[in-house]
A and B are shown apart, each in its own frame.
Chain A
Amino acid sequence: MTATIPVGFVPLIDAGPLIVAVEMGFDRAEGITLDLRRANSWSALRDMVSFGQVTAAQMLSPMPVATALGLGGAGAALAAVAVLSTNGEVVCVSAAMAKRLREAGHDFGFDDAHAAGRALIAAADGPLRIAVPFPFSMHAELLYHWLTALGLPAPSGIDIRTVPPPLMAAALAAGEIDACCVGEPWGSMAVERAVGALLLPGSAIWPGMPEKVLGVRADLADSDPEPLRALIRALWHAGQWLNDPRSRVTACEMLSGRDYLDVPTEVIDRALSGHLTISARGDSRVVPKFVDFGHFAPQQAHAAWIGGRLAARLGLDRGTSQAVARATYRTDLHENALQSIPGYTPEPASFERSFDGQNFTPLPPE
């Protein structure tokens, strides 16, 4: 008998590995059946995992860390057992802000975080109002990092607020926000509706940052049962398949299905190919590695970085927070699961530099 594993997801490009695992049958190849459940919010997914409605869920990479620090929610401790995607975010500015930026001479080059950030700061009329999908998200972390590195004082100069992605286009159109940082396809959808223009991909701020992880209850991770290992292997195969350019046409078709993202394949193709349409006038830019599904191992250094940033912003003890954060990213479990794949060699942990040259400095092992 195969075990059925209920797994939660939010309809986004980076739910790709979960959708592909089902559609391509990578789950059944590992002797399990994934039962995908769509959710409308990250908090709902977190609670569904905490209270056992689903075994695992796609999560924003800071979510297990935030939960461990007692920020938001009140349920069980969570663990990240795999990285589902890296980068894939876009910064999208309102039509009014795009006009101001263009008038000030910004070229929307889409690859220079210095130029884009300075232009945005210069065009700000009061604190920059930027929407993110969740308070504990890589979107929020990248924005704080990017804009403060360029000299914008936080919190006085930045007003980062949470707006559910389906409401972001309306918020941009109504002038309630100057910009948003969001995962695809929402940035492209704002462009399609002519309410915004894409200013910068997340990969231009800090390439290689984990965007979504597979989250489970920490007690499940501790017991490390075989079905969970099978799930990790199935998703690894799905990520490898998605990273292969030859899979793209098929992948776009699968993701666009009514049970999944329910948006035109052409819009999904933009993110998967990195050929993004950045304005309603049809200007396009090419971003190599806009989103990546191949950095599958959770790195404790990333968790510590997230924990340190949250601690600094919310007034928690930095050292303790980093230690607590590290423990939520289960690299060990991940390796245990993947070892049995024939020919699998662990990827060496590599950390890329931020746009401002800041190096990723993993803490020494405990």
Chain B
Amino acid sequence: MQRLLKITIVESDPARAALIEESLLRVGQYELNIVDDMTRLNSAIKEINPDIVLIDLDNPSRDALEELTLATAPLERPVALFVDQGDANLTKLAIEAGVSAYVVDGLRADRLKPILDAAVTRFNMFRQMRTELAATKRALEERKVIDRAKGILMKAKGIDEEAAYALLRRAAMDQGRKVGDVAEALVSTAGLLS
């Protein structure tokens, strides 16, 4: 029986960490650790001595991890960004998904592949969620501004809501701008005049 692979997940958001953990446990049995305190990242990793470290590509603390590739060089378990000679494509997919994996030297690719696959799938979902969240937030903000602009027009010109929106839309079309942009300009100008 092979010993369980030790995987460390570097993630300060507990909800995300839990989701990654869950995806990994679905594909196999691993000894999982989560490091959430970036200030003691390297000491935690030295203590845990994992086979694999998973970290978000966008995490600024990746550069601190890079030091491990140096620090462990004279030791028997060097850590490197995973690139299997036969499967550079897997690394490429991982980077596109926004996950970086540091792997100790000599770990067999067949033991690693399911882990990376699961992580890539999970990180792709994170990315999608982030994009959706940002789009929703933008849409909500825009709607709020348009509502305020409509209110200003209704009060100033004594017109109803529909007429106010029509006015905004016509102005946007005439100026070749988005309704949201015209509304924002109106709201900020009105703020100056009030």
Which chain A residues have a beta carbon within 8 Å of chain B's beta carbons? 39-44, 47-48, 51-53, 71-75, 133-135, 161-167, 170-171, 174, 176, 314
Contacts and interface: CB of A to CB of B under 8 A. Distances in A.
Q: Which of B63, B96, B100 has the most CB of A within 10 A?
A: B63
Contact of A162 (B64, B96, B100): B64
A68 B130 CA distance: 36
A358 B157 CA distance: 76
Contacts of B132: none
Q: Tell me the interface secondary structure of chain B in the complex.
A: helix
Given A47-B100, A167-B38, A75 B62 contact: no
A74 B58 contact: no
Given A43-B81, A164-B38, 9 more contacts: A42-B66, A47-B100, A51-B96, A53-B96, A73-B66, A74-B80, A134-B63, A135-B70, A165-B60
Interface string B86-108: 00100110011000100000000
A135 B57 contact: no
A310 to B, nearest CB: 10
A46 B39 CA distance: 23
Most buried by B among A39, A51, A174: A51
Contacts of B57: 44, 47
B59 interface: yes
Interface of B: 38-39, 42, 57-67, 69-70, 73, 80-83, 88, 91-92, 95-96, 100
Given A74-B82, A162-B67, A41 B62 contact: yes
Contacts of A170: 39
Contacts of A161: 42, 64, 67
B39 A167 contact: yes
Contacts of B70: 71-72, 135, 314
B17 to A, nearest CB: 18
A167 B64 CA distance: 11
Contacts of B83: 74-75
